[in-house]
Amino acid sequence: MTFEDAYFKQKVLKHDSLEPFGFITSEKGYELRKPLMAEGLEARLSIDLEGKLTGQVVDIDFDES
């Protein structure tokens, strides 16, 4: 079980709150990208059409997680 699965196991997804929070709609569901304090790093969160959340920190200079 991933961190995301464990943390959000008992949570209910409220689709109407995603866009005001900063998520954008995509073909696969919703996506959020936010720069982190460290220069060149970005947090990327995705919620698929079934409501599963995944997240990663990416080095945007190399597009590597």
Identify which of 55, 42, 48 has the alpha carbon closest to the alpha carbon of residue 26.
48
Q: Residue 10 is encoded by which pair of tokens?
A: 């008992």
pTM reported for the whole predicted model: 0.77
pLDDT per residue over 6-59, tens digit each? 887 888 889 899 999 999 999 999 999 999 987 789 999 999 998 888 889 999
Give yes or no for a contact between 33 and 46, defined as CB atoms under 8 angstroms apart.
Answer: no
pLDDT of residue 65: 62
Catalogue the E-assigned strands of the chain: 24-26, 29-35, 41-48, 53-59
pLDDT of residue 36: 92
pLDDT of residue 10: 83
